[in-house]
Amino acid sequence: MPEFDPTIAEEFGYSIAETQTFLGVPIFEADSIYNLLIRFAFNLLAGWILIHFAYFRRSHRRDYYLTFMLFSTTMFLLIFLMENVKLQIGFTLGLFAIFGMIRYRTETVPIREMTYLFVIIGLSVINGLAMTVSYAEIFLTNALLIGLCFFLEWLIGRKQLAEKLILYEKIDLIVPERRQEMIADLEQRTGIKNIVKVEIGHIDLLRDATFVKVFYKAPKDEVDTIGNNPKPFKL
């Protein structure tokens, strides 16, 4: 076996101290440690900005806040460390397919939360795998993705109405001619103001009840953590 030549190691940017191993595994590689810490901090900051200012500002779901942050951190570390063993991109994206099949069986995850979960995982994969591109390119990629999320949240939030699903028993008011009476009754009984429109769903003539979806302009300080709950509120 040829002897170790320090001059060759230095030529490739290594030193004797940096290549010391234990059981074939390097003990300490300064460049790799610094690279990991810098990219970890950047990915953590990017994920936090996306989750805190784009997602959480509207949803106020602290459970998903925790989930997204842990997913982002875990996925980044997994991708970053396994890249050293030539992790295939197909396996990387396959991880998300596994999460999609699991779907957190204890609870149905809303489509908005699933979308943000995919974005968070995609952002972490990009930051973990982009080892041959410049920091400027990584920063620009993150900025474009986060900026797009902010823009879409702003664009949709300007026109989107809050909604409630109600089980309504006064079916004599559901006819189009008495729609304004129905809206006035709903506002008076539920306390919901600024009802813009209502949609009539399933009508049960035997029980004199119908499903009504109410669309209204929610106050800026109103927090809706339920969303489109399939279980209606019964008047």
Q: Residue 227's CB: how many other CB atoms inside 10 A?
A: 13
Dihedral pair phi/psi, residue 106, rounded to 5°: -75, -15
Dihedral pair phi/psi, residue 102, rounded to 5°: -65, -50
Return the structure tokens found at 214: 């109410």
Residue-level pLDDT at 24: 66
Q: Where are the domains of the chain?
A: 8-158, 161-234
Q: Tens digit of pLDDT for each residue in 87-132? A: 555 665 566 566 555 555 555 677 788 889 889 988 988 888 777 7
Q: Tens digit of pLDDT for each residue in 153-176? A: 888 776 667 788 888 988 888 888
Rounded to whole angstroms, the Cα distance separating 195 from 179 reads 12
Q: Does the reported pTM lie above 0.85?
A: no
35-49, 99-113, 170-184, range with the lowest pLDDT:
99-113
